Amino acid sequence: MSYATAALATYANMLGTLDTLVARAEGHAKGEALLASRLAEDMFPLATQLRFVCNMPGETLARMTGLDFVSSDTDPATLAEARERIAAAKALIAASDPATWPASDAAVDFTLPNGMSFAMQAHEYCRDWAIPQLYFHMTAAYAILRMEGLPIGKAEFVGYMFKYIKQPAA
């Protein structure tokens, strides 16, 4: 399996998880107020965590395939809008062909908004930057929702695993 195929599958799985979590949040008593919740004062609120996760697939595809993508700099105002952004990110991933990604050892250079720059190979970018960033912000979103009383657990975070479940022997 190529690094591109693995990255695309990871994005698809985690965007599905995020959609499940946000769908459940839509029924929470706090409703849209959840978007302002945060784990700690110095951390971003749920709405920003959702924005970051939804931007990440497009940012990765822009670096890997040259996709014309501009990250949103505004947080979703509603949970429904967050789900629309998740659906758009899922569509980007579904439309990406791993064959269009660069060779594993192709150079990837990028600079963060704070001015820090990195140079690495394509597979390292996915393994060491893109996927860990996705999981960090996914976990923050999950933790915020859990802290706010949404009845979720590990099964919701790794719900995609149920497609692999084996039936017990008779």
The per-residue pLDDT for 54 is 98
Q: Domain spanning 3-164: which CATH class is it, in words?
A: mainly alpha
Residue located via tokens 């996914």 = 138
What pLDDT is recorded for position 101? 97
What is the Cα–Cα distance from 107 to 73, expressed in whole angstroms?
Answer: 27
pLDDT at 169: 80
pLDDT the model gives residue 38: 97
* Six-digit token string for 20: 């499940």
H or E stretch covering 20 = helix 3-25
| CA angle in degrees (0–180, nearest 5) for 60-84-138 | 50
- For every residue of 88-112, DSSP letters joined together read HHHHHHHH--GGGSPPTT-EEEEE-
pLDDT of residue 167: 84
**pLDDT, block means (10 residues), the chain with 170 residues:** 96 97 96 97 98 97 96 97 98 97 96 94 97 97 97 93 87
Q: What is residue 128's predicted lDDT score, i.e. its pLDDT?
A: 97
